[in-house]
Chain A
Amino acid sequence: MIEISHCNLAYVQGASQVKVYDNFSLKVEQGESLVLIGPSGCGKSTLLYLLAGLLQPTGGEINIFGERVMGTRQKTAFILQEYGLFPWLNVEQNVSLGLRVRHMPKRMYQGAVEEVIHKMGLWEVKHHFPSQLSGGQRQRVALARALTLKPDLLLMDEPLSALDALTRERLQELLLEIWQEQKLTTVLVTHSIEEAVFLGSRILVLADGRPTHVMGEILNPLVGQSGYRQTPEFFQKTSYVRSLLEGGIVG
């Protein structure tokens, strides 16, 4: 289980202190796909940085599968906004970088890297640099890099926001497939209501303003069922999330 307990986080802006998190708590069950949705600046991405160990809370603690987060963790993979690829490395080098920084010898990871590259449909472009790839391909590279780390927790910060509608849907299906296949615990931040309902087994709607607080929590047990996108339940859930968000913004 992932447990965020009574977390505080604040930064200084001019003469005043802005509280991003004030006594914030949250639990995520193993194998759950949690989606965070909310207006810009509500602290969604910051939560991912805290979980990834890239930011430290000023109070409270975060435990991931029984281990207290004090810095980055070997089995947490984080896909940042804009994919976080390195433009000077080709696809293969980008995918294997996580293993290289962990000092794994090439002969140990080469097979696994090639397998993931194949699986993600990137074999033909494995020697291409990110600038030569389409948005969808770049996203696949980021995903491939995350998967080579064999993570137990996958964090994604608006991973599909820059893609066209069709590519986006195709990658949503791929993400769902990976989540179901690998029983990964995932925490995903998105602006898209449809994406939240399509990918989240639980959806947290965060309120506008600071400190961050949860405005609504929606359980979504039908997630992953085939043809879910076309069902009345899917439509109901998206309408509900939308009404929560609109209410939050107006109120």
Chain B
Amino acid sequence: MTQLRRGFQRQFIGYLGAVLFLLALWQYAAWSLSTPLLPTPLAALRATARLFSDGDLRKHLWVSTYRVVLSTFLSLLLGLPLGLIMGYERRIDRFLAPLVYIIYPIPKIVFLPLILLFLGLGDGSKIFLITFIVFFQILVTTRDAVRKVPAETVSSLRSLGGNRAQVYRYVLLPASLPDVLTSLRLSMGTAIAVLFFAESFATTEGLGYFIMDSWSRSAPDEMFAGIIMMALLGVGLFIVVDFLETIFCRWQHLKGN
């Protein structure tokens, strides 16, 4: 327990150092460029506090968080089981793999106009687009992770009397979880980038909209307040995935005696 606390403490100090370094860099850039387009960190933080307390920014942050978290959850819900099945059941994989490999490299963002057309301008289209992108990343990673599981590990469970469903539960899922969480962490960056893009079109809610709206109103301090919130959203999700990894994949980071 003490070890865990010390680990968190060290992590916290690391994050704090990184934030201070970035703020210092920003301050230096603001001083040296001396343009109203780049406010100082203090001005941006003041704007953030003001907009946050009057509720406007809070609303946009909530909408964006809701969209990105729900999309990621849906991607996991669909991508993880399908990836496990494709990795283990060769017959199903033979049928689905070509389809996945053709769709995977297509930049899904190009479908945005089509998605807007079919799903409208509300949450649905944004959630669908992010899910569509992150789903494939999770699907492909899970499938590849399952394929790496040694046949002996599966035999070991079957020799204990484990049936097919138990092979999934006790072997394939835990064995692929570290790779799935790594892919989830990488997908967070993509998900937020797609979120920003999707929110900057024909909408009046979300951080993407807020940033683009502040930009068009020539309010750089407010724009930076939006950017700060977007960054916090990204870091927050990153920390959540990290935390999930320490809970579910502790065995991966242990040293032998």
**Residues of A in contact with B (beta carbons under 8 Å apart):** 49, 52, 54, 72, 74, 76-78, 80-82, 84-90, 97-98, 101-102, 129-134, 145, 149
Contact = CB atoms under 8 A, between A and B. Distances in A.
Contact of B152 (A84, A90, A133): A84
Contact of A98 (B155, B161, B174): B161
A134 B174 CA distance: 23
Interface of B: 152-153, 155-163, 166, 170-171, 174-175, 177, 249-251, 254-257
Given A131-B251, A132-B254, A80 B160 contact: no
A153 B214 CA distance: 74
Contacts of A130: 251
A88 B174 contact: yes
B6 to A, nearest CB: 19
Contacts of B255: 131-132
B160 A149 contact: yes
27 contacts: A52-B159, A54-B155, A72-B161, A78-B156, A78-B159, A80-B152, A80-B159, A81-B152, A82-B152, A84-B153, A84-B156, A84-B159, A85-B156, A86-B156, A90-B251, A97-B170, A98-B160, A101-B157, A101-B162, A102-B161, A129-B251, A129-B254, A131-B254, A132-B255, A132-B256, A132-B257, A149-B160
B170 A80 contact: no
A133 B257 contact: yes
Contacts of B177: 88
Contacts, number: 71
Contacts of A72: 158-161
Which among A76, A85, A88, A89 has the greatest number of chain B C-beta atoms within 10 A? A88
Given A72-B159, A84-B156, A87-B251, A101 B257 contact: no
A88 B175 contact: yes
Contacts of A129: 250-251, 254
A220 to B, nearest CB: 27
Given A129-B251, A132-B254, A101 B166 contact: yes
Given A97-B170, A131-B256, A86 B153 contact: yes
A187 B155 CA distance: 18
B159 A101 contact: no
A125 to B, nearest CB: 9
Contacts of B170: 86, 97, 101
A85 B152 CA distance: 10
Nearest to B257: A132
Contacts of B155: 49, 54, 80, 84
B7 to A, nearest CB: 17
Contacts of A80: 152, 155-156, 159
Nearest to A100: B170
Contacts of B156: 78, 80, 84-86
A73 to B, nearest CB: 8
A57 to B, nearest CB: 17
A52 to B, nearest CB: 5
Nearest to B167: A101
Contacts of B158: 54, 72
A171 to B, nearest CB: 18
Q: Which of A98, A101, A132 has the most CB of B within 10 A?
A: A101
